[in-house]
Amino acid sequence: MNSIIAASTTAGVVLSLLAYWIGTLLRKKTGWSFMNPLLISILLVIVFLLVFRVSYADYQASARYLSWFLTPATVSLAIPLYLQLERLKKNIKAILLSIFAGSLASMVSVLALSVLFGFTHSQYVTFLPKSITTAIGMGVSEELGGFPAITAVVIVVTGIFGNIIGETVCKALNVTDPVAVGLAFGTSAHAIGTAKAMELGETEGAMSSLAIVTAGIITVLLVNVFAMLY
């Protein structure tokens, strides 16, 4: 099986899409929030690679074409934001302050937990960019002396966790305004959270898209200050 994957230029793509389709099917059939398609697909691919002894390098090489869609998918997030431009203009101060508060809370929580559990400095800075998109977070982690590979895992886990429990948390805290809900998802759970926000509504998706970019910029500006605190 490893030789088949290694020799094919699309086997990894087919495997990834099939795993995601199964995850989507399970989510529709069960209706359970923890049946996140991305989480299910990750687990299924891991099991497949272990059972059939396929190296990750061969799988990655065969699935690399999927990454080509990341850029257009990211750019397309600007569409719902453009459609909500007037609402954005009317609430720009509150929106930016909310994203700043969310980004600050994320880094403060990492600092507090690092002190509590006695992390080393390298471990601490590895977790600092946990709530921003992977492309930015890995670069930040590497620059600060962290472990980019672990940062990538932490970011994905954060996004999946936010995607699964975000709606429940908002309901529990009586956060019902679509702008606030969207900002919460984008600030805390980046692109994976934005996927959930778009399911909830156009406004939620637009605000979450804005939060991804803004939270990334804010984190990059503040992370060097936080890196010096521990």
pLDDT tens for 214-227 read 888 899 999 989 99
Last residue of a domain, one of 36, 58, 75: 75
Higher per-residue confidence, 84 vs 123? 123
- Taking CA atoms, 7 is separated from 59, 62, 86, in Å, by 10, 8, 51
3 state DSSP class of 174: coil
151 and 173 in contact (C-beta within 8 Å)? no
Do 51 and 154 fall into the same domain?
no
Q: Please name the residue that has the structure tokens 């601490």.
A: 124
Tell me the residue range of the domain where 13 lies: 2-75
**Do 124 and 18 belong to one domain?**
no
Provide the domain count of the chain: 2
Rounded distance, CA 66 to CA 146, Å?
27
Say yes or no: 113 and 90 in one domain.
yes
In angstroms, rounded to a whole number, what is the distance separating the alpha carbons of residues 158 and 55? 26
Interval 179-217: pLDDT, tens: 999 999 999 998 888 888 888 888 888 889 888 888 888
* Boundary (domain end) residue, out of 75, 90, 110: 75
pLDDT on residue 158: 92
Query: pLDDT tens across 57-84, in order?
Result: 888 888 888 877 776 776 776 777 777 7
CA angle 110, 115, 117 (to 5 degrees): 90
Question: Can you give the pTM of this predicted structure?
Answer: 0.80
pLDDT for the residue numbered 42: 87
Write down which residue in 75, 96, 115 finishes a domain: 75
Q: What pLDDT shows up at residue 123?
A: 92
Q: For residues 32 and 131, state if they share a domain.
A: no
How many CB atoms neighbour CB 106 within 10 A? 23
Residue 122's pLDDT is 93
The rounded distance, in Å, linking the Cα atoms of 31 and 59 is: 30
| 123 shares its domain with 202 | yes
Rounded CA-CA distance 91/166 in Å is 22
For CA atoms 71, 26, 201, 190, the dihedral sign is negative
